[in-house]
Amino acid sequence: MNILDKIIADKKVEVALKKGLIPIKNFEMSPLFERPTNSMATKIRQSASGIIAEHKRRSPSKDVINNSLKVPLVVEGYEKAGVCGISVLTDGPYFGGALEDLLLARASVDTPLLRKEFIVDPYQIIEAKAHGADAILLIAAVLTRAEIHDLSTLAQTLGLEVLLEVHNLEELEKSIMPSLDLIGVNNRNLKTFEVSLDTSRTLSAIIPSDFVKISESGISDVSAIKDLKTYGYQGFLVGENFMKTHDPGAAALAFIKQIEG
């Protein structure tokens, strides 16, 4: 069993346990459930940088990245830097995140928030809405076409945008449908954790122009972004490059200034 299979197996157990403890109606009564969402896709289209910054404490491939910084300080710094969106890891066992991180981020900023999670059940989309998300991530590698359709349709019904993540042509071809807003190409192979920007370059021409194109993982310098823009990418998810510093907001600001300059 590879790491992705293990994460998904554990996630299904985790969600089943939560469903037995907290009914959906509790989330639907959250003050944030009726909150109008902010469009991350629109912000990216209007931006010169397209940066989506990430709050991530650790990962299976890098272990601890940064455990010392408080969520409000990180996301406020990102907002001041002018990012288009903030990705908040909410997986606990493998990434050190929590739904409370999303809640704290929402209380701190107006910037569109992406709940970055291994979503396997509609329950998690209701959770995301109740905790202040503006968008959710769906990973094509772990979902069938029917599951992607049902989950993305539910998300859009709740006013949430959908970022679909793919790693190869097969995943992309099975997943394209009207209920998606953004398509992200993850340059990291989730089974081996190897990174190559060629993945984004190869798939760029196949992604329909209806969707905002996002390149994810392995983006650590401005030259990579300038190159990927020539392939039609408008958004760029950057996590470790900012989080490994003592001031992620300042790192994001300097990075964005280089892109815009």
Q: Residue 111's closest CA among 252, 259, 257? A: 252
- Mean of pLDDT values over 46-68: 87
Which residues belong to the active site? 54, 56, 116, 165, 186, 216-217
Provide the pLDDT for residue 208: 95
Question: Which pLDDT value is given to residue 14?
Answer: 98
Residue 239: per-residue pLDDT: 81
Whether the pLDDT of residue 54 is over 90: the answer is yes
Q: Give, rounded to a whole angstrom, the gap between the first and last alpha carbons of the chain.
A: 46
What is the H or E stretch that residue 237 is in?
A: strand 235-238
Instruction: List pLDDT tens digits, range 78-131.
Output: 999 999 999 999 999 999 999 999 999 999 999 999 999 999 999 999 999 999
Whether the predicted pLDDT of 4 surpasses 90: no
Structural domain tally of the chain?
Answer: 1
Whole-number average pLDDT of the chain: 95
pLDDT value for 86? 98
In this structure, what CATH number is given to the domain that contains residue 118?
3.20.20.70
User: What is the mean pLDDT of the segment spanning 32-48?
Assistant: 97
pLDDT for res 36: 96
Residue 193's pLDDT is: 73
pLDDT at 213: 98
List 212's β-bridge partners, or say none.
Answer: 182
Kindly write down the DSSP assignment for every residue of 23-67, as one continuous string.
Answer: -HHHHHTSTTTTPPPP-HHHHHHT-SS-EEEEE-SEETTTEES--
Instruction: Check whether 251 has a pLDDT greater than 90.
Output: yes
What share of the chain in percent tops pLDDT 70? 99
Residue numbers of the domain that contains 90: 3-32+39-260
Q: Is the pLDDT of residue 132 over 90?
A: yes
Residue 184 has pLDDT above 80, yes or no: yes
Average pLDDT over residues 238-250: 93
CA distances from 223 to 2, 31, 50, 169, 227 (A): 33, 43, 14, 25, 6
Q: According to the model, what pLDDT value does residue 191 have?
A: 67
Global pTM reads 0.96
